[in-house]
C-alpha cells in the first residue's frame, strides 16, 4: 500500500513536470545551430584540398568502370566507387570521360551531352551540363563524408545540393551551349548506378568541351 501511494504521488509529479519549457530551450539551441550551418562554405572548404584530389586519385576511365560493372557491380563499386555502409543506397561510381559529343539536349534546364568514349558513335555516358543538376552524385562518391556527422537530412541535403551549385557556378555556366555535337569532351565526375538499360548520368567536377 505504502509503495503504491508513493508511486501515485510520483506519477502525479511526473505529469506536472514543466516538460515544454525543457524542450523549448533545446529547440532554440538547435535552431541556432542549424542557422549556423553554411553548406556552400562547407563545400568550398574541402573542394580544392580534398574533393578534387580524391576524385582524381580514384577516377578511372569510364570504359573500364562500365565493363567491370556489367559483370560484377559490387566488385566495380569497391574498386571505382563508394556507398554508405548501411542503408540501401546504390553504388556511386567515379569516372573519367574522354570522348566526343554524339547528342545534346540544351533546351531543358536539366541540359546534358551524350558522349561516345569508344569510337562506335554510340553514347556511353550522359554528362550533365546544368543549370539544373539531378541528384547528389558528387557528395555520395566521397568516402570521407558521412551522413552521421550531420544534424539531420536537411543539412545533409543542403550539403549535397551545394556541390551542384558550386559546379554550376564555377564550371558549367561557362560552357558553350550551341552546336556541341561533334566536339571533344573531357570530364571527371561521379554517377549513381543507372537503372538497367539506361545511360549513366555523370555529374562533372571538372569538364572541358571544345576542339
Partner 1 sequence: MKLTRRLTLAAFAATLALGTAMPAFAADLIAIITPSHDNPFFKAEAVGAEAKAKELGYEALVLVHDDDANKQSQLIDTAIGRGAKAIILDNAGADASVAAVQKAKDAGIPSFLIDREINASGVAVSQIVSNNYQGAQLGAEEFVKLMGEKGNYVELVGKESDTNAGIRSKGYHDVIDEYPDLKMVAQQSANWSQTEAYSKMETILQANPDIQGVIAGNDTMAMGAIAALQAAGKKDVIVVGFDGSNDVRDSIKSGGIKATVLQPAYAQAQMAVQQAHDYITSGKKPAEEKQLMDCVLINADNAGKLETFALAQ
CB of 23 to partner 1, least distance (A): 5
For 108, list phi and psi in degrees, rounded to 5. Answer: -70, 150
| One character per residue 85-124, x = contact with partner 1 (rule: CB under 8 A) | xxxxxx-----------------xxx--------------
Nearest Cα residue to 185 out of 109, 102, 65 = 102
The Cα 28–Cα 13 span in angstroms is 26
197 part of the interface to partner 1, by CB under 8 A: no
Binding residues for partner 1, total number by CB under 8 A? 43
CB of 32 to partner 1, least distance (A): 12
177 part of the interface to partner 1, by CB under 8 A: no
| One character per residue 41-80, x = contact with partner 1 (rule: CB under 8 A) | ----------------------------------------
| Beta-strand pair 125-131/201-210 | parallel
Q: Quickly list DSSP for 70-129.
A: HH-HHHHHHHHEE--SSS-PPPEEEEEEEEEEEEEE-SSSEEEEEEESSSSSS--EEEEE
Which of 47/150 has CB closer to partner 1?
150
Interface with partner 1 (CB under 8 A), residue from 1, 3, 32, 36? 3
139 neighbors 167 (Cβ within 8 angstroms): no
CB of 107 to partner 1, least distance (A): 9
SS3 61: strand
The window from 10-18, 36-44, 46-54, 59-67 that contacts partner 1 (CB under 8 A) reads 10-18
The Cα 171–Cα 44 span in angstroms is 14
Which of 89/103 has CB closer to partner 1?
89
The Cα 161–Cα 174 span in angstroms is 19
Grid cell, residue 171, equals 564550371
The Cα 53–Cα 75 span in angstroms is 23
23 part of the interface to partner 1, by CB under 8 A: yes
The residues that touch partner 1, with contacts defined as CB under 8 A, are: 3-4, 6-8, 10-11, 13-14, 17, 19, 22-23, 26-27, 30, 84-90, 108-110, 131-132, 134-136, 146-148, 151-154, 156-158, 160-161
Amino acid at each position: 500500500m505504502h509503495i503504491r501511494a508513493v508511486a501515485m504521488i510520483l506519477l502525479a509529479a511526473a505529469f506536472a513536470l514543466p516538460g515544454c519549457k525543457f524542450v523549448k530551450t533545446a529547440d532554440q539551441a538547435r535552431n541556432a545551430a542549424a542557422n549556423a550551418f553554411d553548406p556552400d562554405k562547407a563545400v568550398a572548404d574541402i573542394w580544392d584540398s580534398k574533393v578534387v584530389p580524391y576524385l582524381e586519385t580514384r577516377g578511372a576511365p569510364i570504359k573500364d568502370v562500365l565493363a567491370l560493372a556489367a559483370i560484377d557491380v559490387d566488385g566495380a563499386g569497391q574498386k571505382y566507387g563508394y556507398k554508405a555502409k548501411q542503408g540501401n543506397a546504390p553504388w556511386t561510381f567515379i569516372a573519367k570521360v574522354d570522348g566526343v559529343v554524339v547528342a545534346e539536349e540544351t533546351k531543358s534546364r536539366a541540359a546534358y551531352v551524350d558522349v561516345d568514349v569508344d569510337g562506335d558513335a554510340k553514347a556511353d555516358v550522359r554528362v550533365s551540363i546544368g543549370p539544373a543538376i539531378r541528384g547528389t552524385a558528387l557528395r555520395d562518391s566521397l568516402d570521407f563524408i558521412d551522413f552521421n556527422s550531420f544534424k539531420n537530412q536537411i543539412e545533409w541535403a543542403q550539403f549535397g545540393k551545394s556541390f551542384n551549385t558550386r559546379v554550376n557556378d564555377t564550371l558549367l555556366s561557362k560552357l558553350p551551349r550551341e552546336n556541341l555535337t561533334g566536339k571533344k569532351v573531357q570530364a571527371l565526375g561521379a554517377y549513381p548506378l543507372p537503372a538497367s538499360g539506361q545511360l549513366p548520368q555523370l555529374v562533372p567536377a571538372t569538364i572541358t568541351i571544345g576542339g
